[in-house]
A = this chain, B = another copy of it.
Amino acid sequence: MHEKVSEHILQVAGQLFAERGYRAVTVREICRRAGVNISAVNYYFGSKETLYLETVRFAARQCTRNVPIVTWTETDPPASRLRQFIHGMLHRVVRDEEPSWPAQLLMVEIVRPTRACQRFVREFVRPNFQALLDILQQFLPRPCPEKTLYRLAFSIVGQCLYYRMCRSVMSLLAGPQAPALLDLESLTEHITNFSLAGIQGIARPLRRRRRYAPATTRGELS
């Protein structure tokens, strides 16, 4: 029963934290909604703050557990790998499967980081980011400034994260067709195509300046 109670508190607290933030949620409400005594939080977690840190860890685990690690075969072309990466990221981030609060909690943690953020980045964000860098490498000529590589990566994850972080704004701007814009598959296609072209636009400006014929390796993209 121990395991069940503490995890139940974790779930209830996580949802409330994600919706209203750490300070706006009281220990009393967590316990009331979880159906446990008020001293349960301190009994199982030691303090409200520790409980919060645990909800962030739980959220990170949950987000990566929902989506199997990005795996591709050696024969997959780079474009296919990028599509898989974007699909996985969108799945983690825009998909509203139960529970839906972990992604939201992490977004808030990113925008105004607390002590929980550093560990989250180190353990969960960095590996994913490195995977993206590896994919991008394959699009670029060997001696490529790291600055460019990083910015390409940020351009891609920026597009994905927008649909979670700015969903409130997006819904207000898009009105009734907002749900259609969140459709996972077509959104994956859009961001992938946009990014593939964008990568080429960054990787090949020299050729265009030299007035090469532009019809060279475009087929690589599709």
Please report A residues at the B interface, Cβ cutoff 8 Å: 19-24, 104, 107-108, 110-113, 117-118, 121-122, 125-126, 129, 146-148, 150-152, 154-155, 157-163, 165-166, 168-170, 172-174, 177, 180-181, 187, 190-191, 193-202, 205, 208, 213-215, 218, 221-222
What distance in Å separates the Cβ of A188 from its nearest Cβ neighbour in chain B? 11
Residues of B within 8 A of A163 (CB): 154, 158
A118 CB, nearest partner CB in chain B, Å: 7
Task: Give the residue among A23, A107, A162, A199 with the most B Cβ atoms within 10 A.
Answer: A162
A154 to B, closest residue via Cβ: B162
A/B interface sample: 9 pairs, CB < 8 A: A113-B168, A148-B190, A151-B181, A151-B187, A155-B194, A158-B159, A158-B166, A159-B159, A197-B199
Once A161-B166, A198-B198, A205-B193 are accepted as A-B contacts, the answer to whether A181 and B150 lie under 8 Å apart by CB is yes
Q: Which of B125, B162, B218 contacts A173 (CB 8 A)?
A: B125
Interface of A is mostly: helix
Q: Given that A172-B121, A215-B215 are known contacts, is A165 also in contact with B110, CB under 8 Å in the complex?
A: yes
Distance in Å from the Cβ of A169 to the closest Cβ of chain B? 6
Q: Which of A22, A148, A152, A158 gathers most chain B CB within 10 Å? A: A158
Q: How many monomers of this protein are in the complex?
A: 2
CB of A159 to closest CB in B, whole Å: 4
CA distance A213 to B202 in the complex (A): 21
Chain B residues positioned under 8 Å from A221 (CB to CB): 201
Q: Which residue of B lies closest to A172 (CB)?
A: B121
In the complex, which residue of chain B has the Cβ closest to the Cβ of A19? B112
Q: Which of B22, B148, B172, B196 contacts A118 (CB 8 A)?
A: B172
Q: Looking at the complex, which one of B22, B23, B161, B173 makes contact with A150 (CB distance below 8 Å)?
A: B173
